[in-house]
Amino acid sequence: MLRKILIANRGEIAVRIIRACAEMGIRSVAIYSEADRFALHVKKADESYCIGSEPMSGYLNIYALVNLAAATGCDAIHPGYGFLSENALFAKACKERGLIFIGPDAEVIHRMGDKTEARKAMVAAGIPVTPGSSGNLESVEEALEMAESIGYPIMLKATSGGGGRGIRRCDNAEELQRNYSRVISEATKAFGSADVFLEKCIVNPKHIEVQVLADHHGNAIHLYERDCSIQRRNQKLIEIAPSPQLDEAQRQYIGGLAVIAAKSVGYTNAGTVEFLLDDNDRFYFMEMNTRVQVEHTITETVTGVDIVEEQIRIAAGLPLRFKQHEIVRRGYAIQFRVNAEDPKNSFLPSFGKITRYYAPGGPGVRTDTAIYTGYEIPPYYDSMVAKVIVNALTWEDAIQRGERALKDMGLFGIKTTIPYYLQILKHPEFRTACFNTGFVEQHGELVNYSNKPRPEVLASVIAAAMASHTGL
């Protein structure tokens, strides 16, 4: 088993990994920029080291991180998600330095990170993919010819893209001509590659992804699916496990496809195979994320499997502890990404000092976060400040619990997406589990909620103020 792990990340995912290490008797090493000096992951880790004054560059400095891990006696690095988590060069540098990269091999990361190569691999494995270009596009003329043959609308995508960036929908030739150079420019800036491809746009599909685990002994299983259809501009907002929109036959089918996909590329560790489901109940492979997902929490909740712990065990060379038939689902889980954004102002970021914070609690509620009262949210990173996860035995009860938990949560000093999520929970399409990726765009009226303080939150603030004043 591993003895000491450097966590090449920050925020709530770093705290999540630190907790897994603590339960496994493994020492944790945190890194931080000057902007993160007072971050919670720095306080929680066994050891913490500053990686420089620049907010971003230190977290992305491959060789500095690898050297730090070696110098501090670590035998592995966990990349979390984002930053270097899907960087093949980082995985390779770890191996060259004699460190274990907690994730798949560099070759697999590279192959699945290149979306055209991933499509080719899935076609070879018999996995359905959307019609599109078989390789990278050489010119806008080639793109126009391809789009004409498969029909509009099409999606123009960066080959190395991710996180909703480097993607443009084109409904006609004029839009394709206009967006072609934009996607190339965005891809070059964000991913260091100008390669783009196109595929048929599945209009307002359901976004369904499957969590897989695979070890170094040839074993691979799935932990069922998650529904990520509630999203804005390709960024997920609310995730659900399992999908309340699938029947059991669809569930078993897509889970089987995900395992075939993982085995076909020699995948190891935790990964996610993402699919689109169209109106005719046809599944299409979209991409494979070669890392732990933000929404891994809801899969853990309904299956009881600690995905981060399994990541560490697999990296240490241990076999999977579960067979497929031993994975049993229980109820439904919903995750709300609480973002420091103002939905009433085009979701603009709302960074600043958290004057008061009260975590939701009670049965079936989990909160993953790295914030605390008095914490100053730096403006340099992702706007997500917390994840609220609820679970219950039925879909209806999960919705009710989600509403209660979000109302329980008190987060002051910044604006958040909590009031917006409460509006979504009330909508009949969501409550009856009949929604797709167009939900947010189709229901812009939901941002017109009242800014009046919720009674239960107002009461908690008054009580806290009184206690502080009287010294109780």
C-alpha to C-alpha distance for 209 and 364, rounded to whole angstroms = 23
From 394, 331, 338, select the one nearest 370 (Cα to Cα): 338
Helices 140-150 and 173-191 cross at an angle (nearest 10°) of 120
From 380, 384, 440, 442, select the one nearest 233 (Cα to Cα): 440
DSSP-based three-state secondary structure for 414: coil
C-alpha to C-alpha distance for 75 and 55, rounded to whole angstroms = 26
CA distances (Å), origin 378, targets 55, 119, 179, 385: 9, 38, 32, 11
Q: Which amino acid is at 202?
A: I
C-alpha to C-alpha distance for 314 and 214, rounded to whole angstroms = 8
The edge-to-edge listing of strands for the beta sheet with 384-392 is: 283-289, 269-277, 206-214, 220-232, 235-241, 332-339, 384-392, 365-369
Instruction: Write down the residue that tokens 């000092």 correspond to.
Output: 353
From 336, 320, 316, select the one nearest 398 (Cα to Cα): 336
* Vertex 231: Cα angle to 228 and 236 (nearest 5): 60
CB distance 200 to 154 below 8 Å: yes
Length, in residues, of the chain: 472
Q: Which of 10, 16, 232, 291 is catalytic?
A: 291
Residues 6+ apart with CB under 8 A from 462: none
Q: How many CA atoms lie within 13 A of 63 on its CB side?
A: 0
DSSP annotation of 353 reads: B
From 88, 73, 90, select the one nearest 9 (Cα to Cα): 90
Strand pairing category for 154-162 and 165-170: antiparallel
Active site residue 291: yes
Tell me how far apart the terminal alpha carbons of the chain are, to the nearest angstrom.
47
The set of catalytic residues is 291
